A and B are shown apart, each in its own frame.
Chain A
Amino acid sequence: MSYKAPDEKDLEAMIGIVGKNYASNNKAITASYLAKSVMGLESQIPDIVVRPKYTEEIRKILIYCSAEKIAVSPISGGLSGGFACPTIKPAGVLLDLGRMNRILEIDEANRYAIVEPGVTNGGLWAYMEKYHPDWAPPIADGAPPAATVMGDAIDRGFSLYTSSVGPQGDNFMCAEIVFPNGDVVRTGSWALPFAKPFYKFGIGPDMWSFLMGSQGALGVVTKAAVKIYPHPKHKTVVAWGMSNPYDMQDLTLEVGHQEFGISHNTVMVQGGNYPLVMTRWPKDKVPHEYEFFKEIGIPEWWMNWECWAQTQEELDYVVKRINSMAEDFKKNRAKDGAAMKPWELHPKQIASRMKKPNKIAVPYSFWDAGFLFITWYTPWNECAEFAEMYNAEMEKRDIPPVMWIASIERCRQAICMPIICFDSTKDEDFEKVQDLNAVTTEYSLKRGWLNYRPDPFIHIQAYYQAGMYWKYLRAFKKLVDPNMIMHPGRLALP
């Protein structure tokens, strides 16, 4: 597929749509959108950046670019769905949706918020804390405050309620989507002109889910209704330490298997290994041996259950139940029961874990000079195998084995997040990471695991292996994006 490199005439056209202050081909402005070694290694400087404010502007931009065969890559403003999926070849127009940052409606009775794509986790959180303090939005845990609510959904991410209610995509009820063919489609119950966003499947079938994982390769979501949840006052974190990922996996699954009751109280269930702590500091400023971390009370592996409840009594019950299940597991089924013990967290540690949104996923560049998340979904009861395999491959390459794992929907899936800390100033380190990614991808696809936010080069194999699915994905794209201009290269589509 060949694309036109946009020129001055195209810039004029963009200016005609959004105004002169919101379209630019200034080289410094376009270069500022580069993003290597964040969620991927590839990034290309866009030719033109446009910052639309309204749906109609986006519609005009897409119609124009489609007619001119100019590639368009949308970013929602933050890290998730933003710089996580930067422009790649052939560059073209980058749509920065950061100006579309209005919180349009909060409906407590029907429990949804309607947001534009540029609404950030931090912005929505602060707004609801102030004006709707009994309710909280399902923002991503770990993604920084400037990441966007919608970007997280479109990336198929997770939220702070994820273990209880499922992946972020499931939190969205209805959306308004602009396709490059010029159509503006409203999904779910919004398909009817006067309907509230109360039913995701609408008149059926569900078109919204087709956008999940689209990485901007199908169209631009210009507004969406996201579920909001109660924000109870009674919260704590229960944590258990263990010596290996299998005990972490199996104990967590036992709690998740309850399905009702405590499984719904444990909104965020996530754990990992001690290098998760170690690599938050510069590598020459912190001991590397586990003995040091053991001495300061950090388990080799651990699992945190963040528990939310409406009353203290309910919270106490949840904590007691998790602890008694863990004791029983330790005694009867653990691989290394002797090493298992409750991790008594200091109130400050609990407060820090419960702070939302937070910057916990940010400081891994501090270790050296760059890091990368290469994240995978596995069935929960295979996450320990994933961790063992991935950590071994990281260690072979002298990369610290940093593993972070979270439960989705009461351990139906695991989101496994190895954090690859490396020196992004060095070409040889880039090669090392590419090699790691290639080897682990081959292993993972053989096991049937799925990449989260697939890399357009190495993870592309997943689409080729999904033959028939990919055929229909391509056909749908052709329907809504006849000239294939949306984020070329993503989803193994031109």
Chain B
Amino acid sequence: MAKTGMDRLNELKKEIFKCIHCKACRFAYSGEPSRKGIGEFKGKQGTVLYEGMVDSCPAGIEYGWEAFWNAGKIWIARSILSGDLEFTEEVRDVILPCITCGQCSAQCENKIPTVDIIESLRAACVESGVPLIDKHALVDGLVKERNNPYGGAADERFKWAKDAGLDKFVNNKDAKIAYYVGCTASYRQIEVAIATAKLFEQLGMNFTLIEDEVCCGSPFFRIGEVNTAQTLMKKNLEAFKNVKKVYFSCAGCYRTFTIDYPKWMAEGEKLPFKTQHAFELVAKLIQDKKIKFKPNAELKGKVVTYHDPCHTGRHFAIDMEQEMIKESKNLMFDSRKIKQKIDEWFEIPRIILKKLEEDVGIVFKEMYRIKLNSMCCGAGGGVRAGYPDFSLRTASLRCDEANAVGADILTTECPFCWRNLSDSNELYEHDLMVLGILQMITEYELLDILQKPTEADLLGK
């Protein structure tokens, strides 16, 4: 039987009761007060001192009240469990404007899985009968009717593939590998979908785009509408049941399939296929010296920085950490291994960027807050749909940070981050070019294949 939000909240009770309001969770680099940075920078959203610890909880920065910083929400969850507080619309309006970026979890010395707690709290809130806010109800209605939150027609989901001459991959029955495109890349950032599919094609991959693909459910897991999310999950599990591996170009979809589905599936059920983001494949092929990049005069000398999407960065790192803690018999000894694994995880996109620097001549420059301490783009957790102004101000804070290092191009690896950063870049005039890494590779025709990937390369991990 599928779990309810209240079930999950009760499962997490011991974690919730670990919070001591230390508030390390409000900062990036909460354990590195003397970290050297790039100094003060006056950006579009004000002046930030990029040294030591930096306030990095978007909801806390925006609203200020204790309830909007993470520790406050954990104590709200505790109050719900102990009967001191009941769900109401007033409570909903405090727990919803959180991007669930996971910065808080990354900083927590007690390893509290804050994102899981906040999402379960929202799910329990919805179950208690508190209605969704209007903007969320709208996307919930659209996905129920059309299987995507944008209201796109089902038969237009793969229009981009047909228009780009990639229709041979639609419902390609022979393929063991699928590319799950996701709604944003299917209906909005089609350049991400085209770039990824073309990259796969160039690599000689036999893959399929499955027409029965529906929304992964990510927005609905995030806002607490888990019935909708679980319905979508079941449809996708049915649609993809015959493939061995699913590739993603969207951080949110990848996280949802890999981390959320197993959590919300019935006890004992497992994902029937492996999952991987396309950037992991590209990085591996670089390491195996099977691909490199061609020089490009237009890109040469451009300062490129990278935004770690929360869904592929921190959320995976925290999930890895939680799993390794569960398995560990002596955490004092294993903690170093955990740290090493997390470091390796965050290096994956940087393998590509460093190779681009070496081969293409871009200048790769990191922002101050990166990897586990990366600042969110503001799009996740249902915030872009529900609280667009707050969402865009958060994205602008991130663009300020890119401006602070003199970036010409802000890259990322998630169409949802891309959308928000792009919109904010335009709205607040940050004068950046926002690009997906794979999009950059495809659009500038940078790929130089030295050796085609083998089936083991493609199906492994």
Interface, chain A (partner B; CB < 8 A): 21, 24, 26-29, 31-35, 37-38, 45, 49, 51, 78-79, 82-83, 96, 98-99, 121-123, 125-127, 129-130, 144-147, 281-282, 285-287, 296, 355-359, 362-363, 365-366, 368-371, 423-425
Q: Quick one: closest A residue to B111, CB to CB? A: A366
What would 27 A/B residue contacts be, using CB atoms closer than 8 Å?
Answer: A28-B90, A28-B94, A29-B65, A31-B67, A31-B75, A31-B79, A31-B85, A32-B94, A37-B17, A51-B65, A83-B21, A96-B66, A121-B33, A122-B30, A122-B53, A129-B51, A144-B23, A145-B30, A146-B23, A146-B24, A282-B325, A355-B31, A355-B34, A359-B22, A365-B17, A366-B111, A369-B15
Tell me the bound Cα distance from A370 to B78 in angstroms: 12
Determine if B22 and A126 form an interchain contact, defined as CB atoms under 8 angstroms apart. Answer: no
| B17 close to A424 (CB less than 8 A) | yes
CB contacts (< 8 Å) of A49 on chain B: these are 65-66
Q: Which of A28, A127, A281 has the most CB of B within 10 A?
A: A28
- A45–B20 Cα distance when bound, in Å, is 16
- Is B341 on the interface with A (CB-CB < 8 A)? no
Given the interface pairs A129-B52, A146-B23, A285-B329, the reply to whether A363 lies near B110 with Cβ below 8 Å is yes
Minimal beta-carbon separation of A352 from chain B (angstroms): 10
Within B49-72, the residues touching A (CB, 8 Å) are 49, 51-53, 64-67, 71-72
Contact of B39 among A130, A146, A366 (CB under 8 A): A130
Q: Is the beta-carbon distance between A281 and B332 smaller than 8 angstroms?
A: yes
**Chain A CB within 8 A of B14 CB:** yes
A-binding residues in B (CB < 8 A): 13-15, 17-24, 26-27, 30-34, 39, 49, 51-53, 64-67, 71-73, 75-76, 78-79, 84-85, 88, 90-91, 93-95, 109-111, 325, 328-332
Closest CB-CB distance, B334 to chain A, in whole Å? 8
By beta carbon, the residue of chain B nearest A146 is: B23
- Name the CB-closest residue of B to A287: B330
Q: Is the CB of B65 within 8 A of A32?
A: yes
Which of A21, A29, A125, A425 interacts with B66 by CB under 8 Å? A29
Contact (Cβ within 8 A) B330 A79: no
- Decide if A130 touches B21 in the complex (CB within 8 Å): no
7 cross-chain pairs, A with B, having the tightest CB-CB distances, nearest first = A32-B72, A126-B52, A146-B23, A32-B67, A365-B18, A28-B94, A363-B109
Per the bound structure, the CA–CA distance linking A24 and B331 in Å amounts to 43
Q: Report the separation of the CA atoms of residues A355 and B85 in the bound assembly, to the nearest whole angstrom.
A: 39
Q: Chain B residues near A287 (CB, 8 Å)?
A: 330
B353 to chain A, nearest CB (A): 28
In Å, the complex CA distance between A32 and B79 comes to 8
Tell me if A423 and B14 are in contact (CB < 8 A). yes
B338 to chain A, nearest CB (A): 12
Which of B26, B30, B73 has most chain A Cβ within 10 Å? B30
> How far is the CB of A367 from the nearest CB of chain B, in Å?
9
Q: How far is the CA of A38 from the CA of B20 in the complex (A)?
A: 5
Minimum CB–CB distance from A144 to chain B (whole Å) comes to 4
Indicate whether A425 sits within 8 Å of B331 (C-beta atoms), given known contacts A79-B23, A126-B52.
Answer: no
Closest Cβ of chain B to A180, distance in Å, is: 23
Name the distance in Å between A424's Cβ and chain B's nearest Cβ: 5
Residue of B nearest to A293 (CB): B332
Interchain nearest-CB distance for A192 vs B (Å) = 34
Contact between B79 and A125 (Cβ–Cβ < 8 Å)?
Answer: no
Q: Assuming the A-B contacts A33-B66, A122-B33, are A370 and B17 also in contact, with contact meaning beta carbons closer than 8 angstroms in the complex?
A: yes
What CA separation (Å) do A123 and B109 show in the bound complex? 19
Cα-based distance from A196 to B81 in the complex (angstroms): 51
Cα A37 to Cα B39 with chains together (Å): 38
Question: Is the pair A24, B109 in contact by a Cβ cutoff of 8 Å?
Answer: no
Chain A residues near B13 (CB-CB < 8 A): 369, 425
CA distance A358 to B31 in the complex (A): 6
Q: How far is A351 from B258 in the complex, measured between Cα atoms in Å?
A: 38
Is there an interface contact between A79 and B52, defined as CB atoms closer than 8 Å? no
Find A33's partner among B30, B49, B64, B75 (CB 8 Å cutoff).
Answer: B75
Distance in Å from the Cβ of B159 to the closest Cβ of chain A?
A: 43
Q: With A32-B76, A369-B17, A424-B17 in contact, do A286 and B22 touch (Cβ < 8 Å)?
A: no
> Smallest distance from the beta carbon of A232 to chain B beta carbons, Å?
15
- Residue of A27, A34, A145, A356 near B24 (CB, 8 A) is A145
The residues of A that contact B75 with a CB separation of less than 8 Å are 31-35
Chain B residue with Cβ nearest A368:
B14
A363–B39 Cα distance when bound, in Å, is 30
The reply to whether A37 and B14 form a contact with Cβ atoms under 8 Å apart is no
Contact B34 A129 (CB under 8 A): yes
Given known A-B contacts A32-B76, A33-B66, A144-B24, A359 and B329 have beta carbons under 8 A apart: no
- B332 A286 Cβ-Cβ under 8 A: yes
Q: How far is the CA of A24 from the CA of B73 in the complex (A)?
A: 16
Answer whether A146 and B17 are a contact pair too, CB < 8 Å, given A28-B94, A31-B79, A282-B325. Answer: no
Kindly list chain B residues whose C-beta atoms are within 8 Å of the C-beta of A37: 17, 20
- Residue of B24, B51, B94 touching A26 (CB-CB under 8 A): B94
B329–A79 CB distance below 8 A: no
Residue of A nearest to B20 (CB): A38
Structural contact, B18 and A362, CB atoms closer than 8 A: no
Given A32-B76, A425-B17; A126-B51 close (CB under 8 Å): yes
CB A119 to nearest CB in B, in angstroms, measures: 13
State how many angstroms separate the Cβ of B30 from the closest Cβ of chain A. Answer: 6
Q: How far is the CB of A129 from chain B (nearest CB, A)?
A: 6
Contacts of A369 in B (CB 8 A): 13-15, 17-18
Minimal beta-carbon separation of A135 from chain B (angstroms): 14
A32 to B90, CA, bound (A): 13
Nearest-neighbour CB distance to chain A for B56, whole angstroms, equals 12
Say whether, besides A28-B91, A34-B84, A146 and B26 are in contact (CB < 8 Å): yes
Q: Evaluate whether A27 and B18 lie within 8 angstroms (CB atoms) in the complex, with A125-B33, A126-B52 already known.
A: no
Residues of A within 8 A of B32 (CB): 355
Residue numbers in B under 8 Å from A33 (CB-CB):
66, 72, 75
What residues of B have a CB within 8 angstroms of the CB of A370 in the complex? 17-18, 20
Complex Cα distance, B275 from A176, in Å, reads 60
Chain A residues with CB under 8 Å of B330's CB are 285-287
Are B79 and A45 in contact (CB-based, < 8 A)? yes
Rounded to whole Å, the gap between the CB of B25 and the closest CB of chain A is 9
Which residues on A sit within 8 Å (CB–CB) of B79?
31, 34, 45
Q: A35-B21, A286-B331 are in contact. Are A359 and B30 (CB under 8 A)?
A: yes
Q: Are B49 and A145 in contact (CB under 8 A)?
A: no
**Contact among B15, B30, B34, B91 for A125, CB-based, below 8 A:** B34
Q: Are the CB atoms of A26 and B73 closer together than 8 Å?
A: no
Residue contact A27 to B17, C-beta cutoff 8 Å: no
Of B51, B66, B76, B328, most A-chain CB atoms within 10 Å: B66
Cβ contacts under 8 Å, B111 to chain A = 366
Please name the residue on chain B nearest to A286 by beta carbon: B332
- What separation, in Å, do the CA atoms of A28 and B19 have in the docked complex? 17
Cβ A145 vs Cβ B33 within 8 A: yes
B residues in contact with A21, CB < 8 Å: 64
Kindly state the separation between the CA atoms of A26 and B88 in the bound complex, as whole angstroms.
Answer: 10
Query: In the docked arrangement, what's the CA distance between A35 and B71, Å?
Result: 10
Bound together, the chains give a CA A425 to CA B30 distance in angstroms of 27
- Which partner residue on chain B sits nearest A96 by CB separation? B66
Instruction: Quote the shortest CB–CB distance from A184 to chain B (angstroms).
Output: 25
Q: Determine how close the nearest CB of chain A comes to the CB of B68; give it in whole angstroms.
A: 8
Q: How far is the CA of A34 from the CA of B20 in the complex (A)?
A: 10
Closest CB-CB distance, A117 to chain B, in whole Å?
Answer: 15
Q: Which residues of A contact B14 (CB under 8 A)?
A: 368-369, 423, 425
A9 to chain B, nearest CB (A): 19
Contacts of B95 in A (CB 8 A): 28
- Contacts A126-B49, A285-B331 supplied; 7 other A-B pairs, CB < 8 Å: A31-B76, A32-B65, A96-B66, A98-B66, A144-B22, A146-B27, A359-B24
Taking CB atoms, residues of chain B closer than 8 Å to A51 are: 64-65
Decide: A356 and B17 in contact? CB cutoff 8 A.
no
Q: Are B109 and A26 in contact (CB under 8 A)?
A: no
* B-chain residues with CB within 8 Å of residue A126 when the two chains form the complex: 33-34, 49, 51-53
A362, B22: Cβ atoms closer than 8 Å: yes
A77: min CB distance to chain B, Å: 8
State whether B84 touches A26 (Cβ < 8 A). Answer: no
